[in-house]
Amino acid sequence: MAKVLITYYSQSGNTKAMAKEVEEGAKLTGAQVTTKPVGQVSAKELLDYDAIIIGSPTYYGLPAAQIKKLIDESVEFHGQLTGKVGGAFSSAANIGGGNETTILAILQAMLIHGMVVQGTAAGDHYGPVSIEAPDNRVKMQSQALGKRVAELAIKLFG
Amino acid sequence: MAKVLITYYSQSGNTKAMAKEVEEGAKLTGAQVTTKPVGQVSAKELLDYDAIIIGSPTYYGLPAAQIKKLIDESVEFHGQLTGKVGGAFSSAANIGGGNETTILAILQAMLIHGMVVQGTAAGDHYGPVSIEAPDNRVKMQSQALGKRVAELAIKLFG
Amino acid sequence: MAKVLITYYSQSGNTKAMAKEVEEGAKLTGAQVTTKPVGQVSAKELLDYDAIIIGSPTYYGLPAAQIKKLIDESVEFHGQLTGKVGGAFSSAANIGGGNETTILAILQAMLIHGMVVQGTAAGDHYGPVSIEAPDNRVKMQSQALGKRVAELAIKLFG
Amino acid sequence: MAKVLITYYSQSGNTKAMAKEVEEGAKLTGAQVTTKPVGQVSAKELLDYDAIIIGSPTYYGLPAAQIKKLIDESVEFHGQLTGKVGGAFSSAANIGGGNETTILAILQAMLIHGMVVQGTAAGDHYGPVSIEAPDNRVKMQSQALGKRVAELAIKLFG
């Protein structure tokens, strides 16, 4: 059974609320899903999962330093995440607020790890973006991300 | 008097409507402003302006091929746009629809020309993004872009 | 047997030379590989393949307008490329010349199509970059891209 | 006299060596230049300068968490950096190693602060990229960045 990790940094609670929706979508597939804040995830632990989904508030068009710290520490295991599935989501203060670039920054780090990422033709293409607290659109997009990543992990890892 | 060119590609009319607002903002500064569709602008003509603002619909997270064609043709004058001021705006079908990356793609091309670009701390940071037809938020952001670019051109070129 | 399309735009011949190496790498996997210039590929034809790899020279930090035109035309089949595997490569005039952003621009368009992309932990992370004509490093990176994309397509499509 | 801050994070010494060259280029203009490691710069201190140049190693296609921490802390002064001039540089392990995206990530944060950034038509367009220790090309590109940013700051702030 494919194992999915959802980790996030959240100050206002908006990114955490998105994580819950991503989790719900991932669980629909039957995958084994773990969700926890980034402070409780060690770089070594990333090796235990088939898929990793990271959420961050949009801080200056990039993931929060707390997220970046985990990414930097993962260099100790460089090469060992190859082939795992990745995904990303972000909450922001406003449209055009740097949310797409925050998501792409996380996806770029995942590509550099040799990971596999997938967009969607419907809606928030790179990953879900919430403007302030998640509304219905964001909830559906977040569930879709969880489902999409978990389904791809199941295809690749059973 | 600083000379500002606003050029755009528009199918639905949304990007054209944004261009009108950008123009209005730029004119507030007293700058001399020219607005025309990209099909009526030659690469050579870019040399005649102190500032160039480009608008495009979001087509797969990037400017339309019609905009890219003008950028590619500008290679004939590579180096001669150095120091001019640039700006960009985009209309899109949905939030998270690739609009930020469309704007950044245009700004990247401008940086490669040695041009000067400025973001904003208030609102659509990289440049205005419209979701479907411009609403009041988008009109104000578009006017702010025109004003910002024209003011910087006036500072640099009088 | 997974079907892979490699298409490219090339003026100087450098991007075409990279395409040959990508093809060689893809063929090692037993996948059925087709390579042709972008002018000979219709948007409709993209539906026939399990994986699509696109190469472009670096023109102002973005793919050539000829590549963008094909991407824009593919909107007619929006949603129908979902789940296919993608990859990208670029040749450039110099280091720091906008080559990474050219590759990422292509990958972003692929994500918006709902496609699956993979980076590499070894070497040119987002996709191979040639500075002028391909040297041995670039040849190996290009072969690795072809192999990686074809292998992922075989895993997903048999 | 325009005041320029150059700050950097460096583990191997390569980014620090680039900072020295950037400093040399900036000093040629007569600007008042301060260079120090990111650990010695407070967010508040950023207000004291007309131009800010940031250097980072390429860590997963993004600036180091130490750089991101300073950027995140600068939110306390959001809006107060508007109009200042910015620039960025990066050292990396290999070509196509995420160096351009590292520089662009820093420039994006600067745009979100309302800052002004300029590329170059000659060489490393977004900012200088070193592959391992700086060679002559990198030294010249780094000096050019310092000179370009300081000159623009002098034009705008005297």
Find where tokens 């400025």 sit. B118
Beta-bridge partner residues of B85: B51, B116
| Cβ pair B119:D120 closer than 8 A | no
| Cβ pair B109:C65 closer than 8 A | no
Residues of chain D with Cβ-Cβ distance to B82 below 8 Å are: 120-121
Nearest CA to CA, how far is B96 from chain A (Å)?
4
User: Residues of D near B (CB-CB distance < 8 A)?
Assistant: 78-79, 81-83, 104, 107-108, 110-122, 125-126, 152, 155-156
**Cα end-to-end distance, chain A, whole Å:** 6
Give the residue on A whose Cα is nearest the Cα of D63: A68
Beta-bridge partner residues of C34: C5
| Cβ pair A60:D71 closer than 8 A | yes
Nearest to B121 among D78, D108, D126 (CB): D78
Q: pLDDT below 50 — which residues of chain D? A: none
* CA B126 from centre of chain: 11
Q: What is the rounded CA–CA span in Å between residue D29 and residue A11? A: 43
> Phi, psi at residue B34, to the nearest 5°?
-120, 130
Helices of type H across chain B:
14-27, 65-73, 99-112, 136-157
Query: In b/e form, how buried is each residue of D38-49, taking b as 16+ CB within 10 angstroms?
Result: beebebebbeeb
Q: Which two tokens stand for residue B146?
A: 């025109």
Are D2 and D148 in contact, with CB atoms under 8 Å apart? Answer: no
- Return the higher-pLDDT residue of B93 and C142: C142
| Cβ pair C126:D99 closer than 8 A | no
Beta-bridge partner residues of D35: D6
Residue type, C34: T
| Cβ pair D125:C97 closer than 8 A | yes
| Cβ pair C155:A152 closer than 8 A | no
Query: In b/e form, how buried is each residue of A138-156, taking b as 16+ CB within 10 angstroms?
Result: bbbbbbbbbbbbbbbbbeb
Residue type, B73: E
Q: What is the rounded CA–CA span in Å between residue A87 and residue B57? A: 26
Question: Is residue B57 within a helix (H) or strand (E), and if so which, with residue range?
Answer: strand B51-57
| Cβ pair D118:B83 closer than 8 A | yes
Picking from D100, D158, D86, the residue whose alpha carbon sits closest to that of residue D131 is D100
Q: What is the rounded CA–CA span in Å between residue B122 and residue D107? A: 17
Picking from C52, C55, C41, C108, the residue whose alpha carbon sits closest to that of residue C80 is C52
Are B104 and C98 in contact, with CB atoms under 8 Å apart? Answer: no
Question: Is residue B6 within a helix (H) or strand (E), and if so which, with residue range?
Answer: strand B3-8
| Cβ pair A113:D65 closer than 8 A | no
Output the tens digit of pLDDT for each of chain A's 158 residues.
999 999 999 999 999 999 999 999 999 999 999 999 999 999 999 999 999 999 999 999 999 999 999 999 999 999 999 999 999 999 998 888 899 999 999 999 999 999 999 999 999 999 999 999 999 999 999 999 999 999 999 999 98
Q: Which two tokens stand for residue A146?
A: 């969880």
Please report the number of interchain residue pairs, chain C to chain D, with beta-carbon separation below 8 angstroms.
57
Find where tokens 């990247």 sit. B108
Q: What is the rounded CA–CA span in Å between residue B70 and residue B5? A: 14
| Cβ pair A129:B96 closer than 8 A | yes
Chosen from A60, A95, A104 to mutate, greatest number of chain B CBs within 10 A: A95
Q: What is the rounded CA–CA span in Å between residue B49 and residue D156? A: 19
> Phi, psi at residue C77, to the nearest 5°?
-115, 25
Q: What is the rounded CA–CA span in Å between residue C113 and residue B94? A: 15
Residues of chain C with Cβ-Cβ distance to D97 below 8 Å are: 124-125
DSSP string of chain C? --EEEEEE--SSSHHHHHHHHHHHHHHTTT-EEEEEEGGG--TGGGGG-SEEEEEEE-BTTB--HHHHHHHHHGGGGTTTTTT-EEEEEEEESSTTSSHHHHHHHHHHHHHHTT-EEE--SSSSSSS-EEESS--HHHHHHHHHHHHHHHHHHHHHH-
pLDDT at B158 over 90: no
How confident is the model over C112-140, as pLDDT tens digits? 999 999 999 999 999 999 999 999 999 99
How confident is the model over B20-67, as pLDDT tens digits? 999 999 999 999 999 999 999 999 999 999 999 999 999 999 999 999
- Work out how many domains chain C is built from and give that number: 1
Q: What is the rounded CA–CA span in Å between residue C26 and residue C149? A: 7
Region C24-32 average pLDDT: 98
Residues of chain D with Cβ-Cβ distance to C103 below 8 Å are: 96
Instruction: Give me the pLDDT at residue A96, please.
Output: 87
Neighbours of chain C (3+ CB pairs under 8 A): A, B, D
pLDDT band of C22, cuts 50, 70, 90: very high
Instruction: Give me the pLDDT at residue C96, please.
Output: 87
Give the residue on B whose Cα is nearest the Cα of D118: B116
Q: Find the domain containing C44 and state its range.
A: 3-157
Are B153 and B26 in contact, with CB atoms under 8 Å apart? Answer: no
Crossing angle of helices D99-112 and A99-112, rounded to 10°: 160
- Evaluate whether ipTM surpasses 0.85: yes
Count, in order, helices (H) and strands (E) of chain D: 4, 6
Q: What is the rounded CA–CA span in Å between residue C90 and residue C141? A: 11
Q: What is the rounded CA–CA span in Å between residue B50 and residue B158? A: 10
CATH of the domain at B66: 3.40.50.360
